[in-house]
Amino acid sequence: MAVLEILEFPDPRLRTKAASVTEVTNDTRRLIDSMFETMYAAPGIGLAATQVNVHRRLLVMDISEDQSEPLVFINPKLTVVNAELGEYDEGCLSVPGFYETVHRPLCVAVTALDREGKRFSKELNGLLAICLQHECDHLDGKLFVDYISPLKRQRIRNKLGKSQRHRG
Ligand code: GNR
Ligand code: NI
């Protein structure tokens, strides 16, 4: 296992649309383990493969306080159950230090493969639904800053671009 480097906005690689996972192998499971290690180290409640520069459709989440509820979604297919929108102050490990209000459907259903390659379905609401939508967006090259005003997005781009140059 390893802590992987997380790409940061405005890195163009975050705009890549991920391809489906064709087969769930030991390599896939090794990547998943490293993604959990990376997410827990950050710390964060979700991580999409796109953020660690792997452009395959898989993501991990854990919203528990004590790393006790790890969730894996491979090739997730999301559908909206309740189109009513809720708002939440979202952050992103790829947009460090910035939080903005985003509106999203409150309840979604997902079908995906688990770490054994077995298909499962579940319905999610609350923070799990928000996080899953945020992670599925990453797999399509989308970031939460795409939902805020262009002016705010530009300010974030300027600030993060500057700190990235300082770090080299
Ligand atoms: O750790 C994270 N917290 C968070 C808070 C509100 C809405 C979404 C998130 S996901 C984020 C981790 C991350 O960037 N996942 O892609
Ligand atoms: Ni994110």
Sheet holding 100-113, edge to edge: 46-48, 58-61, 71-90, 100-113, 119-125
Least distant ligand from the CA of 89? 1
State the virtual CA torsion across 74, 77, 130, 46 in degrees, nearest 10. Answer: 10
State in Å: Cα 23 to ligand 1 middle. 27
SS3 46: strand
Q: What is the pLDDT of residues 5-37, one digit of tens each?
A: 999 999 999 999 999 999 999 999 999 999 999
Query: What is the pTM assigned to this prediction?
Result: 0.98
> Alpha helices of 22-149 — where are they, by DSSP H?
26-41, 126-139
**What pLDDT sits at residue 168?**
72
**What pLDDT sits at residue 163?**
87
For the Cβ of 138 lying below 6 angstroms from any atom of ligand 1, the answer is yes
For the Cβ of 93 lying below 6 angstroms from any atom of ligand 1, the answer is yes
Residue identified by tokens 């649309």 is: 17
**What pLDDT sits at residue 11?**
96
pLDDT in tens, the chain (168 residues): 899 999 999 999 999 999 999 999 999 999 999 999 999 999 999 999 999 999 999 999 999 999 999 999 999 999 999 889 999 999 999 999 999 999 999 999 999 999 999 999 999 999 999 999 999 999 999 999 999 999 999 999 999 988 898 887
Dihedral sign, CA of 53, 133, 143, 46?
Answer: negative
- Best mutation site among 93, 94, 133, 139 for ligand 1 pocket (most ligand atoms within 8 Å of CB): 93
**What pLDDT sits at residue 53?**
98
CA 108 to each of CA 4, 5, 50, 122: distance values in angstroms, whole numbers, following the listed order:
29, 30, 22, 9
